Structure 1
Amino acid sequence: MPMTAAIYARQSLDKTGEGQAVERQLSECRRLATSRKIRVVHEFIDNDVSASKGIRPEYTRMLSLISAGEIDTIITWHTDRLYRRVRDLVDLVEVAEKHALQILTVKAGEIDLTTPAGRMAAGMLGHVARYEVEQKGARQAASNVQRARNGVWQFSNRPYGYERTMDGVQVVAEEAGIIREAYDRFLAGESLYGIVDNFNERNIATTTDRPWSISTLSARLSNPAYAGLRFYRGEEVAVGDWEPIVPRETWEAFKASKRQRRKPDSWSNRTKYLLSGLALCGVCGGRLMARPDYVRGPSRARRVVYACSSKWCVQRDQTRVDELVEEVLVARLSQPDASRLLKPKVEVAPCMNAPMTSGAGGTIWRRHSRRVFCPLQR
């Protein structure tokens, strides 16, 4: 019976977007298929996708077709195009054993995952690939530190006010003027909101051709690179080798002014109210959101209410509602059967056997050839 094959090609990083490395893989894989007289019915390509992290849509689709019995052979340039993680190899072995899958590679020969020797060879190749990835990561991290200490600025997305040329990082004069204007206006007492609103009225776009937002402008002005400073992981390590847009004093003054303007009730994404976004309106079913409300009368006292965010049907005093909910919860958890509500849905029987190893966080036990982690009781 003739083999029904699929070619799989992958490249982790495609800087040019042209997929040249993928095309080279496909060309060699096609030659291998021709020499072996194998009929190729599918070609799966994951370009600019890492095998060590993230989702590979074409690889997942290929496995589904293998499981459906439509493919019995994979042709790839090397096994590291298929997998770099042990858990990916485990999934591939399970599919291979169920469907008699054959794997042919241009550089590593034939891999038979249905035999112990084939699985051992695949595992060794996987560990070698993983080692190469980790070594590359370690070298890259060391290189990043060295460049930072030398004052070199590495960036993938062009920062507003600068561009990379053959001569290094250069100032974009028009954008630099906008950055200086923003610093000056903020230090003169104007709010970020007012500056952003003005920039958008003047149709001043960001580097991505989008309108300015408060968070975008705040992040830009907080960037020490505008003062010619090289930071690495939050710490100053060197003076940059590029031209600063503003003096260091201006950048420091911006940070100090920003801290002074922050109020205790400034906006944040922290949860402040018990039911905001969780409670539902009894009239229309919309979500109730916490918002400020002012009591009628001379005092104009401020309070917080839960208000229907859909049709503004109802609003309820936040303090009184939270107190009621807390009282109900405390009363329910005070009942004799409350412990069953909080009982974890896990198997605890393995904790009765002898421990294998112990540590500060708990104990690992073995039962029925399975490892179970039992946290320490405190």
Structure 2
Amino acid sequence: MTTPHAAAIYARISSDQTGEGLGVQRQLEDCRRLARERGWVVAEEYVDNDFSAYSGKTRPAYERMLSDVEARDRDAVIVYNFDRLTRAPIEFELFKMICAQAGLRHIASVTADIDVSTDDGMFMARVIAAVAAKESARRSERLKRKHQQLAEQGRPNGGHHRPFGYAPDRVSVVESEAQIIRELVARFLAGESMRSLATWLNEEGVAPVSGESWRTQSLRAMLMSGRIAGLREYRGQVVGEAAWPAIITPEQRRQVLARFAEKKATGRRAPRRYLLSGLLRCQRCGGRLYSNPRGDKRRYVCLNGPDHRGCGRLTITADPVEHLLAAAVRFRLDTPDLADALASRASMDERHASLVVELEADRAQLSELAGMYAARQITAEEWRTARAPITKRVEHAERQLQRASGTPAVDEWVGKGKELADRWATLPLERQALIMAAVLDHAVISPGVPGARGLDPDRVHPVWRL
């Protein structure tokens, strides 16, 4: 057998708590020494730091090494121990098959002097892989039990990174970050989108615990977590109170979850360029006006055709009607009528929360039915029969949520219409739109006079929600 001149060194460690890569570095040093002792030339080192070989997840460096072996660019493989390659016997067989097809016969381990080119060597390597798999399974069960016990006691888990808002001990609150979390929750409940909040964090230079910038997915996970409300979760479920202090109240978290569920149920999208999307009606036909720009001119138009079914005979320029109705909403925030309407809000909020709970329960039941049908526990006819009434309940709840009138978007501005006017231009468009929709149910637009210059206020007839 010829001496390898393009050997691959593969190093892997399942968990790197410090992030310094010291575990794989020690493996690499020992593998390099073995290569020197045997006179093998190392072409490349492949490292999967902080990757498990038992979980089944893709290991980028390992897959790249296999590709190089298949391409015959590598003529030997060196590992610290065979369980660094894999902890799944079937994966070890695949590795050996790829090596055999590529004609690669040199496979060396620092800790075991085994010649896998022989039957006895392969038998020993298979035993090592099987033992490693069994130990991984045992370790996995021990860790699951440990994490379950910690959860039941309300204690924190370990991990690579501390949670935002808490110190490395995962219990002490970092007050400067806690204040940011409280502001994020307040602004989200007031109508701002995840994208807007993530952008604000990045522009303000607020650094996340890991990564270079905030992303909507990580921000959403933080706001939905039970941790910031002082609740201990295990496998996505709250199991009790936590040992650390809460940053927000459980009630605030419930409101956050309800808003996420409502957005999912209604499919609402944050407005981009038009403040009054969905809020204007045509007096001629009762149809909804849609944004319909002409060149650089923003307009709301009653559209006809198969998708809109309006009369197609009414148009209004966007800027003046938006300014008029925004001013009217801000004025109404200072009126006694609005305060009286808000006095009866408690029962509406309770109904809103109840709808969200009912909707989630019905959706879970639909998923359960689908699973039963997939497992052949029920017939197609039984599935259809059971599904029909649940689907009707889901559709009804979604319609009710669309008409729900929760008012967190305007709570802080009641009686402060003049202050809101001063800050209006600085608010994100989606937050302006939430304030508008919380106060204004819709506005009916009358036909204009041909050739008229400017907007006649008498064309606009607001219908108040509150």
| Paired residue secondary structure (1:51) | coil
Percent identity of the aligned residues? 29
Which whole-Å CA distance do the structure 2 matches of 1:265 and 1:89 have between them? Answer: 49
Structure with the largest fraction of helix: 2
* Offset, 1:170: 1.6
Q: 1:54 to 1:110 in 2, by over 3 A?
A: same
Match of residue 299, structure 1, among 285, 293, 298 = 285
| Paired residue secondary structure (2:43) | strand
Match of residue 248, structure 1, among 247, 250, 258 = 250
Q: 1:156 to 1:72 in 2, by over 3 A?
A: closer
Alignment RMSD (CA, Å)? 4.3
Q: What does the per-residue CA deviation read over 1:117-174, in whole Å, with 9 as the maximum and x for residues that have no partner? A: 3332222111111112211211111111111111112354443322224xx5221212
* Offset, 1:64: 4.2
- The answer on 1:317 being equivalent to 2:321 is no
- The answer on 1:105 being equivalent to 2:109 is yes
Q: Which amino acid aligns with 1:298?
A: R
Structure number with the bigger relative contact order (C-alpha 8 A, sep ≥ 6) is: 2
- 1:82 aligned residue: 85
Q: What does the per-residue CA deviation read over 1:264-318, in whole Å, with 9 as the maximum and x for residues that have no partner? A: 63338xxxxxxxxxxxxxxxxxxxxxx98999772352499xxxxxxxxxx9735
Which whole-Å CA distance do the structure 1 matches of 2:284 and 2:104 have between them? Answer: 83
| Paired residue secondary structure (1:298) | coil
| Paired residue secondary structure (1:107) | coil
| Paired residue secondary structure (1:9) | strand
Match of residue 136, structure 2, among 133, 140, 145 = 133
> Is the contact made by 1:8 and 1:59 (CA closer than 8 Å) also made in structure 2?
no
Flag structure 1 segments of 5+ consecutive residues without an equivalent. Answer: 269-290, 305-314, 321-359, 363-375
Which whole-Å CA distance do the structure 1 matches of 2:165 and 2:35 have between them? Answer: 52
Matched residue pairs, number?
Answer: 287
> Is the contact made by 2:48 and 2:62 (CA closer than 8 Å) also made in structure 1?
no
Which whole-Å CA distance do the structure 1 matches of 2:186 and 2:68 have between them? Answer: 61
Which whole-Å CA distance do the structure 1 matches of 2:306 and 2:241 have between them? Answer: 54
- 1:192 aligned residue: 192
Q: 1:203 to 1:62 in 2, by over 3 A?
A: closer
Q: 1:261 to 1:69 in 2, by over 3 A?
A: closer
- 1:286 aligned residue: none
Q: What does the per-residue CA deviation read over 1:169-219, in whole Å, with 9 as the maximum and x for residues that have no partner? A: 2212122223334555666xx223499569829837462564685x66654
Which whole-Å CA distance do the structure 1 matches of 2:100 and 2:183 have between them? Answer: 66
State the TM-score, normalized to the length of structure 1.
0.61
Flag structure 2 segments of 5+ consecutive residues without an equivalent. Answer: 270-276, 291-303, 310-373, 382-466
> Is the contact made by 1:145 and 1:232 (CA closer than 8 Å) also made in structure 2?
yes
- 1:54 aligned residue: 57
* Offset, 1:7: 4.3
State the TM-score, normalized to the length of structure 2.
0.51
Which whole-Å CA distance do the structure 2 matches of 1:179 and 1:297 have between them? Answer: 45
- 1:239 aligned residue: 241
| Paired residue secondary structure (1:8) | strand
Q: 1:231 to 1:66 in 2, by over 3 A?
A: closer
Shifted more, 17-26 versus 294-303: the winner is: 294-303
| Paired residue secondary structure (1:109) | coil
Which whole-Å CA distance do the structure 2 matches of 1:186 and 1:18 have between them? Answer: 37
| Paired residue secondary structure (1:43) | strand
Match of residue 27, structure 1, among 23, 26, 29 = 29
- 2:42 aligned residue: 41
Q: Structure 2 matches for 1:1-378, cutoff 5 A?
A: 2-4=2-4, 6-12=7-13, 13-35=15-37, 37-48=38-49, 49-52=51-54, 53-98=56-101, 99=103, 101-113=105-117, 115-154=118-157, 156-165=160-169, 168-183=170-185, 190-193=190-193, 196=196, 200=200, 203=204, 205=206, 207=208, 210=213, 219-252=221-254, 255=257, 258=259, 265-267=266-268, 298-302=284-288, 317-318=306-307
* Offset, 1:101: 0.7
Q: Which amino acid aligns with 1:317?
A: P
Q: 1:124 to 1:316 in 2, by over 3 A?
A: farther
Q: 1:119 to 1:132 in 2, by over 3 A?
A: same
Structure with the largest fraction of strand: 1
Q: Which amino acid aligns with 2:246?
A: P
